Amino acid sequence: MRWAPHALVLEKSPRKPSLGATPEYLKGYYYIQGLASMLPAYALRPSSSDIVLDMAAAPGGKTTQLAQLMKNSGLIVAIEKRRDRMRSLMSNVNRMGVKNTVLLRAESSIVSKLDLKFSKIILDAPCSGEGLIAKDPSRRTKTTPEHLKRFQGIQINLLTHAIAALDEGGKLIYSTCSIAPEENEAVIDFAIENLGLKTLPLDLGVGNPGLREFRGVSFHSSIENCRRLYPHLHGTEGFFLCLLSR
């Protein structure tokens, strides 16, 4: 895949064994995830000298990809608050042979107590998952405006904590598997106007620009730097990402 150089696209697979039960999978030779989910790590471009924060790390796809791009050097602090999801994160980090990562089971607000500044931060925020309608058709109707408002509050809160931990000149990638502007452009617009962040261009080779307007609400012009992916246009899950700096 041209814009995901480490990806192999599986067009057809046998029923048995499943992709998650092969010896190669158990030995950590590959990780199963959607193509769009690989973009945040590529956009962040971490190096082996970076100190990276993964704020909502489970199940570990982005954490292990970051470790690969960093050549298992530098430092990744991966945070996950739920015990059940931490198990999957630990399993994948160990299975993939990751050695440069510290796992913390805690609320993301703990970053303000770590006395540590991060050069790169990845926030794959909790969201409604509207971009996964192709896989789960029930998402067409089960998400209400109240759900979007609640997720937006969570996303803004996480961004606020992330900024407090971001070093001067550092970069933060914000992403969701949602196509709802309420969880994407509206959150980035708030970050620009109220949190002092600015967007940076993304040269990913895929995706449409962020929306400048939605239902009569206008967003900051620089939100065009963000990228949207759609199943019918890009052959991926619905996805949004934006690269930010202080």
Element containing residue 38 per DSSP (H, E): none
Which amino acid does the sequence have at 38?
M
Q: Give the long-range contacts of residues 133-139, CB within 8 A, separation 24 or more.
A: 133/231, 133/238, 134/231, 134/237, 134/238, 135/237
Quote the CA–CA distance of 27 and 168 in Å, as a whole number. Answer: 39
Quote the CA–CA distance of 173 and 240 in Å, as a whole number. Answer: 10
Active-site positions?
177
Quote the CA–CA distance of 243 and 232 in Å, as a whole number. Answer: 24
Helical axes 61-69 vs 83-95, angle rounded to 10°? 30
